[in-house]
Amino acid sequence: MGIDVPPDAGRPRAGVARVPADDVQISPATPDEVEHLLAASRHAFAESLARHRGLSPADAAEKADRDTAALLPDGAGTEGQVFLAARRGGDLAGAVWAAVQGPDRPDAAWIYFVWVAPAGRRRGLGRRLVEEAATAVRTRGARYLQLNVFGDNTAAIALYESMGFTVAAQQMTRPLTEG
């Protein structure tokens, strides 16, 4: 089992068979699923850092590893973590990683990574995963749910906006080279 994060993760792809998300069961991730989820999170974050911040692949991977380790000082068992897996017929169809206390405010939880298999995208599974994570962190005292999303991930931005997320901060870039 592994989570394949293609370079165009999060963007709709033509020619991928779409299946409904209502036959998917969501429950706490197994230890193996958590390890795969964290590896996929580091991989996707590193690719985004290289693409958006101009880091070399090696530097981006190092930063992704370092940032993930800082969030999980006790590994996957770090207090406050929520790892949920969506399964269809025993196969991993999606997953989400959230933390009960986010880095900026004590009453806010933070979603660090959402992944949906290509065949399940744009069928409501991402929404279900985020809602399940919201329920999990709300029952643990969170009053707000926060996340980051890179600006070119328009499918995720549309999803989050439709779920009531609003922009709280925005980072913008302008190239200074001619060409």
According to the model, what pLDDT value does residue 102 have?
A: 57
List, for residues 117-167, the tens digit of each pLDDT value: 998 888 999 999 999 999 999 999 999 999 999 888 899 999 999 999 999
For residue 127, being part of any structural domain is answered with: yes
3-state DSSP assignment of residue 51 = helix
For residue 174, being part of any structural domain is answered with: no
Q: Is the pLDDT of residue 67 over 50?
A: yes
For residue 89, being part of any structural domain is answered with: yes
Sheet holding 91-99, edge to edge: 25-28, 81-88, 91-99, 108-116, 144-147
Task: Tell me the CA distances in angstroms from 160 to 9, 140, 148, 149, 155, one per residue in order.
Answer: 16, 22, 10, 9, 9
For residue 179, being part of any structural domain is answered with: no
Place of tokens 């101009």: 54
Q: What is the CATH number of the domain that holds 68?
A: 3.40.630.30
Distance of CA 156 to the CA centre of its chain: 10
For residue 108, being part of any structural domain is answered with: yes
- Distant-in-sequence, close-in-space partners of 156: CB < 8 Å, separation ≥ 6: 10, 114, 126, 149
According to the model, what pLDDT value does residue 21 have?
A: 64
pLDDT confidence band for 68 (50 / 70 / 90): very high
The string of DSSP letters for 71-115 reads H-TTGGG-TTEEEEEEEETTEEEEEEEEESS-SS-TTEEEEEEEE
Predicted model pTM: 0.83
The residues facing 96 across adjacent strands are 84, 114
For residue 54, being part of any structural domain is answered with: yes
> How many folded domains does the chain comprise?
1
The residue segments making up the domain with residue 125 are: 25-162
For residue 156, being part of any structural domain is answered with: yes
According to the model, what pLDDT value does residue 3 have?
A: 45
Q: Is the pLDDT of residue 13 over 60?
A: no
| Among candidate residues 96, 83, 87, the one with its CA nearest the CA of residue 130 | 96
For residue 177, being part of any structural domain is answered with: no
